[in-house]
Structure 1
Amino acid sequence: MSRISEEDIQEIRKRADIADIIQRYIPLVKKGKNFAAVCPFHDDHDPSLSINVDKQIFKCFVCGEGGNVFNFVKSYEKISFSESIIKVANYVNYSLTTNYTSDLPQIAPEHQRLHKLLKETINYTQYLLTTQDTIDAKNYLTKRGILESQIKKFEIGLNLDKLQTTQFLQAKGFTLQECVSANVTRLTDNGPSDVFYNRILFPIHDALGNPVGFSARTLNPNESSKYINSSETPVYVKGKLLYNYHRALSTCKKQKQIILVEGVTDVLAFDRADVFNVVATLGTACTSDQIRLIQQASTNVLLCYDGDEAGLNAAYKIGKLLNTFHLNVEVVINNTGLDPDEISQKKSLEALRALVQVKQGFTDFVFSYLLKKFDMNNYSQKKEFAKLMMSEITNIKDEFDQNNLLLRLSETTGFESDQLKLLSVKLAYDASKPNIISTQAVSSNSIRQWADFEILGMMLKSLQAAIEFKDKLGFLPNPQHNTCALLILDYYRKNETIEVADFINTIEDPAMLRLMTDLSANEIYYKDYNEVSLNDAMIQVKISLLDEKMNQIKQLIKNELELNEHQRYLKSMSQLREERQALRKEIKGA
């Protein structure tokens, strides 16, 4: 297959604004003309990812990840560089000059087979729901208010017999092992058996709409487990899925909000109420992988869990986690004690629609939630409540909101505001400051490494600097830095200037990519060519080499017993000192 042309790559990169593309994946915060974000490549809680609009690069000053728009998509989606180019081309509606469909992400053949098996299962169980012996299932669905149109839309099915789905799939050419691998069949002492029998099946899909598993509701009133979900399989990983995500995604983006609920029937209830930006976590837990899906849908999250104690606990735990990803979290005020599905049945669809309009900010929710758990007449409990609330208050960005909540806490506890501030060890945004340069090869107190960066930074910005380096120095002692210099010189053979975002495309080595983004992201080094500064930096490199030689000779002198050799080493040291002194006199900068 032919390689994507350099012309195509550069044109796609120029059309793709890096902030616009990254914003498809994670929320960004405007910082002057640039942007910041919580880094998705390490366990980040404060925005340490910087997006430079002028240079069209991103850089995390904590974990070191960086590059151009293609590098971000490649790392985030864990795909190849070619795949990232094609993905970005699609985002900017750029038609490649050649068809590179074979470069697109390919689903593993065994996964394709499981998706096909699960699709056949969906089709078959949907058919079974239309047969005459399904009166119990129909009654259940009718009782829950599930419409005929929803049965089709959500592909709801039925399986009554212990073996009929397995037998059907085998008749369609699937092996027993494939049925087991998809968790449609299980092996027992009495032979194979359907995993979901005497149950109504609600198919679960991945973010792309591929069927991956089921949530199944029993028809047996005596069954202890009303709902069971698929066990983990090669295609079904619960912590990476959100029910109804593939249907809700476009609506979430249009409405700039995503609503989180607990279960399948809650989603269906909202669907009947014409609220379509709803997904289910299929439980009261939420993972970082699920939150990344949420981030792609919207930065505004509305939690709508059950109105009982368990639902409140879930909203608190999930909201805390969402907050660490710097999402705007609100919580529905549900004082009914009912879940959304029950509200739609026992009250009305209008009541359910109205429910999501009555909401509060997450910090206000936390205040009310925690207040119920502490006795304000008990000093120790009151102090503990104040500590917990101060940890929330310090995370509020808006100073007015922060002071307002601090006043509310003071009035509730009777503690003075100054006393409350003492309980807080630190404000969230003073927690950590990023290192200027995170590349492992760089030591902050190394003059030579500083000089290397000065040289390389100016070479990136100026052809003249590159020519001066080649003519007057020609190499850098650090192997990685020297390779970087050679790459820059090689790039100038074909180009008069360097656009960093384009130059990065030529770098395959991750360590080199990190070094290059360190350089270009930092104005200390990435600056216009200055002849004096460049010459001073090159002189510092030469001086550092002399220092190394002098240190080596010092060691030889320590170990040398012969008088003649001693004198020879001392003479060499004297010559090196003179050379060093002469070089220092050539330094013109401050």
Structure 2
Amino acid sequence: MNRQELDVIKELANIKIEEILDALGIEYKSKYNYVVCACPIHGGNRQDAWSWHVDRGIWTCFSKGCHEQHGSDIFGLVKAMRDCSFMDAVDFIKGFVNLSMSPDELQKLRDQRENREFIQSTKRKHEKTEVFSPECLNKLEHHGYLETRGYPRWLLDKYHIGACLQTNRYMSNRIVIPVLNRLREIVGFTGRTLDPDWHDKGIPKWKHSNGSWVSSNLFNIHSAAEHIEETGTAILCEGPLDVLRLEEAGIHNSVAILGKKFYTGQMNILIAVGATDLLEALDNDTAGRIGGSSILKTAKTIFGVKRVPIPNGRKDIGEMSVEEIRRVFDVYEEAIRN
């Protein structure tokens, strides 16, 4: 059997992936263009540890990298699950696909696959994110600004938050908050200015480290993923200080989109970790309401979306007390607690 024939079988198998997973005894959830579950190879309880990417026709084990050992295509999956040879895996998959296709149909299938691979490779080039060494956190210094706003020191330490007090740095005179991905790697930083006259001086209140990493990352996803999977709900905030206040209140399934826009890459992360519902909690200002409406329009075909009302007199969740947060979120008790 030549490579071209194997590619056709892989393409057809991707169309029948749910039937194949059923036959392999894998329990899963279908989410948008992903199929997610606990890793069927090494086991484990995390229901977001394994995913099948429908557009690309490959699988990934996020916990132990089982795909690297067995191969990330359908053949590797079947070999690992059935403990069989490559040709036995091919024969198993052939039982689910229709190989009696005309040359024109096969060519159309190949063209579709090549187009998808080209689009995905282009996306990966744009979305490739630099990973920072944890040692860079040693350059951050203690600063009392957030403590004066009521954020406890233990919480700031948990998220490795400090200040850049060196001069002539990109984040000089800012509270710096590292952003981690699901693998707990540092992919970027966001910084809040310490200059009280930032508005008059035309200084941005917040700014992110360079690169396009924001569109494919969410602040707090490294911590919130397991809680989102257990509850099925993600709380979408605008900035990291909102998330910190929710954490202080004992609500652990919130993430920050780091702005007003909800990117497709961020949406895909939530799909992969098992979110089915979103609680939109952007700022209580005109820009926040516009952003919230945009999220509703973008996400409502995939998720159930509800708006969390921010009390009058409060600009955002970060300005609310723990008691106020608990009162507001009491109505969402089942969605936020596990």
Shorter chain as normaliser: what TM range? 0.5 to 0.7
Partners of 1:327 and 1:290 in 2: CA distance = 13
Distance 2:177 2:154 in 1: 14
Tell me the percent identity.
25
> Structure 1 residues 15 and 336, CA, compared in 2 at 3 Å: closer, same or farther?
same
The alignment status of 1:216 with 2:216, answered yes or no, reads no
Q: Deviations over 1:243-284 (max 9, x none)?
A: 101110001111221100100100000010000000000111
Q: Which of the two has greater helix per residue?
A: 1
CA distance in 1, matches of 2:331, 2:288: 16
1:309: Cα distance to partner?
Answer: 2.5
Q: CA deviation at 1:16?
A: 4.4
1:225 aligns with 2:198: no
Residue 269 of structure 2 corresponds to 293
| C-alpha displacement of 1:15 | 3.4
Q: Does 1:151 align with 2:156?
A: yes
Q: Distance in 1 between matches of 2:272 and 2:28?
A: 11
Of 332, 344, 356, which residue of structure 1 is paired with 2:329?
356
The structural deviation recorded for 1:227 is 1.3
Matched, 1:342 2:319: yes
* Letter aligned with residue 243 of structure 1: F
**Match of 1:200, as an amino acid?**
I
Aligned CA distance change for structure 1 residues 143 and 73 (closer, same or farther; 3 Å): same
Structure 1 residues 70, 310: closer, same or farther in 2, change over 3 A? closer
Match of 2:256 among 280, 295, 304: 280
Does the 8 A contact of 1:158 with 1:201 survive in 2? yes
Greater strand fraction, Structure 1 or Structure 2: 2
| Aligned amino acid, residue 256 of structure 1 | G
Q: Deviations over 1:525-551 (max 9, x none)?
A: xxxxxxxxxxxxxxxxxxxxxxxxxxx
CA distances 1:453-502 after superposition (whole Å, capped 9, x unpaired): xxxxxxxxxxxxxxxxxxxxxxxxxxxxxxxxxxxxxxxxxxxxxxxxxx
The equivalent of 1:72 in structure 2 is 54
2:96 is aligned to none
Match of 1:317, SS state, is: helix
In structure 2, C-alpha distance between the alignment counterparts of 1:243 and 1:96, rounded to whole Å: 39
What pairs up with 1:548-563 in 2 under 5 angstroms?
none
Cα distance in 1 for residues equivalent to 2:233 and 2:214 = 23
Q: CA deviation at 1:208?
A: 2.1
Instruction: Sort the Cα spacing of 1:85 and 1:151 in 2 relative to 1 into closer, same or farther, 3 A.
Output: farther
Greater shift after overlay, 265-274 or 210-219?
210-219
Q: Distance in 1 between matches of 2:272 and 2:53?
A: 18
**Gap change, CA 1:70 and 1:302, over 3 Å in 2:** closer
Query: The residue matched to 2:278 in structure 1 has which SS?
Result: strand
Give, in whole Å, the separation in 2 of the partners of 1:268 and 1:258. Answer: 15
In structure 2, the partner of 1:332 is 308
**Deviation per residue, 1:127-170 (Å, 9 max, x gap):** x32xxxxxxx21x12112222211221111221112xxxxxxxx
Q: CA offset at residue 95 of structure 1?
A: 10
8 A contact 2:180–2:187 mirrored in 1? yes
C-alpha spacing 1:312/1:84, structure 2 compared with 1 (3 Å): same
Hey, what does 1:403 align to over in structure 2?
A: none
* Partner residue of 1:317 out of 283, 294, 310: 294
CA contact (8 A) 2:233 2:279 kept: yes
**Alignment partner, residue 118 of structure 2:** none
SS of alignment partner, residue 254 of structure 1 = helix
Q: Taking structure 2 as the reference length, what is the TM-score of the superposition?
A: 0.63
- TM alignment of 1:106-505, pairs within 5 A: 115=131, 117-125=132-140, 128-129=141-142, 137-138=143-144, 140-162=145-167, 193-223=168-198, 224-232=203-211, 237-297=213-273, 298-324=275-301, 326-338=302-314, 339-344=316-321, 349-358=322-331
| RMSD value, Cα | 3.6
Structure 1: which amino acid aligns with 2:137?
I
Q: Which stretches in structure 2 are left out of the alignment for 5+ residues?
A: 1-19, 36-50, 61-66, 86-124, 333-338
CA contact (8 A) 2:58 2:74 kept: no
Change in CA separation of 1:118 and 1:157 when aligned onto 2, cut-off 3 Å: farther
Deviates more, 1:205-214 or 1:268-277: 205-214
Contact residue 304 and residue 356 of structure 1 kept, 8 A? no
State how far apart, in whole Å, the 2-side matches of 1:217 and 1:71 are. 36
* Amino acid in structure 2 at the alignment position of 1:15: L
Deviation at 1:123, TM superposition (A): 3.0
332 and 301 in structure 1: CA distance in 2 versus 1, 3 angstrom threshold? same
Partner amino acid, structure 2, of 1:228: K
The separation in 1 between residues aligned to 2:317 and 2:52, in whole angstroms, is: 42
Distance in 2, Cα, partners of 1:290 & 1:240: 5
C-alpha spacing 1:88/1:294, structure 2 compared with 1 (3 Å): farther
Residue 57 of structure 2 contacts residue 74 of structure 2 at CA under 8 Å; is this kept in 1?
no
- Alignment check: 8 A CA contact 2:237 2:254 kept: yes
Alpha-carbon distance, 1:194 to partner: 2.1
Aligned residues: 244
Give the distance between the partners of 2:192 and 2:219, measured in 1 at CA.
15
Deviates more, 1:239-248 or 1:75-84: 75-84
